[in-house]
Structure 1
């Protein structure tokens, strides 16, 4: 919610000529999508009077809101075929002081719209009726944008720090329920091949507390959760926070209820035309963290992978 409010405030601040409908109201507060719609309308209205370069940048922004939300200014400029300074000038042309508050309007709208599954499904159906380009293409565009938003220098530093914490931990619990169980399962299954002390927390048949009870100082929990946030995940987090174990959180926004008390947080883009939030960036992050563990960890991890593979072949797990 902090990011939504910041983006809304930015929009009010930088649109001095806004109509009365843009005035904040506690009785009927505008959503982040309302602000994005207003920004898009103003951008479309201004386009005919812009220079060719600014008009080209405006066309890209209007056609690719998901990419604009989560790409860097350089990434969006490259995709639009303009210079980064052109995008900055476009933002200032619309009354923003810099490019970042302009981009935050797009981020806020996409993150707000990702939490209601029924609304996402409705928009997906409307999309097929009103747009000429395919859903397949838009899925691809958003997937690439989500992964691109992950691959930053800051996140590289966090991945390296996460890998070191994983290597130092006595016991590792992978936690994620409902939609993010896939993430937790993938992390635990692949991770255990090299690091057998990773355990998948399933919470079946009321066993959640029993599975989490052994956690303590020196242990580590890796928790996955995206809006709408799962009640079971929050219950598990309460136990983890009281246990003294370390905590790595993978979520979709820094205002997520999973964030408090975390040692490391990865807030990932999950935008997609699909009715369910995308976990592609989370899966990519898992692969990066586990690869970093093997790359910087002891030779024993490679030996573990070798023994696992040999044992699977002996058991006939693979078909030649």
Structure 2
């Protein structure tokens, strides 16, 4: 995670003036050098005046340049310390919610945590796996989608996007129906199982049934060594380092990222065809939007 200096600058960045943002950008890119620089040298390096530096720091909550450097040096000294929290599981991956944290700190902390998770997901999603998923879905006779609890949100999102593209797909909210449907698939079909932990019994059982039926199975999960991975012909892992705690509040962010990648990949794979499908869909749902002329 980024240190508190970085978080404080980023949380107040939007409210800074243009010249102050220029100074903030320089500091964010050269934290270690700034710790040893007097204000006049920093101002020259950033291409701004010394008063601009002071205005920026006061806007961010610092008493002055001396106070800023003192806190920066202290933060850099902590950087080598262990990030473990006495061996206790964290409430959220990469982010521990402390009762002393101020309300204004939460938006930037959540944003930074999600950003890191999305970046790690990209690192874990290889180009070869991506192409295999796209080809499997576009050529499937039928696509079954399985997911429960938090992952059901992602399952419905994937279902919606595939329907927009005219692909034959279905998702049952009843776990019993998911397993019955999975048992009726063929080797021309694709089954997509979504589970953050990879241990959701209902989703795993549906994937197991789909694999026995000969369908191509795609698992979207967080852990490559999870149970659902045993029944996946194509395994998509969002990360390998996240903690699973409670209801895994951040799990949907990376799952939705994968869905969006799949959606855009399908469109790109046959642009003219899928744009035509989207146009047809747009005509069908057009009357669901308010027309400005009918407003009162």
Give the TM-score band, short-chain normalised. Answer: 0.5 to 0.7
CA distance in 1, matches of 2:228, 2:124: 23
Return the offset for 1:113: 3.6
CA distance in 2, matches of 1:192, 1:59: 40
Q: Which residue of 2 aligns with 1:261?
A: 231
Secondary structure at the counterpart of residue 186 of structure 2: coil
TM-score by length of 2: 0.62
The total of aligned residue pairs comes to 220
CA distance in 1, matches of 2:125, 2:198: 26
CA distance in 2, matches of 1:255, 1:265: 10
Structure 2 unmatched runs, 5+: 8-27, 33-79, 292-296
CA distance in 2, matches of 1:230, 1:275: 12
Secondary structure at the counterpart of residue 288 of structure 2: coil
Q: Which stretch shifts more, 242-251 or 232-241?
A: 232-241
Secondary structure at the counterpart of residue 217 of structure 1: coil
Structure 1 residues 273, 257: CA separation in 2 closer, same or farther (over 3 Å shift)? closer
Q: For 1:57-82, what per-residue CA distance to the aligned partner results, in whole angstroms no more than 9, with x for missing partners?
A: x9859x99xxxxxxxxxxxxxx8758
Q: Does 1:152 align with 2:102?
A: no
Structure 1 residues 237, 305: CA separation in 2 closer, same or farther (over 3 Å shift)? same
CA distance in 1, matches of 2:230, 2:124: 24
Return the offset for 1:135: 2.1
Structure 1 unmatched runs, 5+: 1-57, 65-78, 84-93, 95-104
TM-score by length of 1: 0.58
Q: Is the 8 A contact 2:162 2:169 kept in 1?
A: yes
Q: Is the 8 A contact 1:203 1:211 kept in 2?
A: no
CA distance in 1, matches of 2:111, 2:158: 24
Higher Rg:
2
Structure 1 residues 132, 292: CA separation in 2 closer, same or farther (over 3 Å shift)? closer
Q: Does 1:162 align with 2:133?
A: yes
Q: Is the 8 A contact 1:146 1:271 kept in 2?
A: no
Q: Which residue of 2 aligns with 1:281?
A: 254
Return the offset for 1:230: 2.0
Structure 1 residues 272, 234: CA separation in 2 closer, same or farther (over 3 Å shift)? closer
Q: Does 1:211 align with 2:184?
A: no
Pick one of 175, 182, 186 that aligns with 2:153: 182
| More helix as a share of residues | 1
Q: Which residue of 2 aligns with 1:233?
A: 203
Q: Does 1:308 align with 2:295?
A: no
Q: Is the 8 A contact 1:172 1:198 kept in 2?
A: yes
Question: Over the residues paired in the alignment, what is the CA RMSD in angstroms?
Answer: 3.8
Q: Does 1:222 align with 2:192?
A: yes
Structure 1 residues 220, 59: CA separation in 2 closer, same or farther (over 3 Å shift)? closer
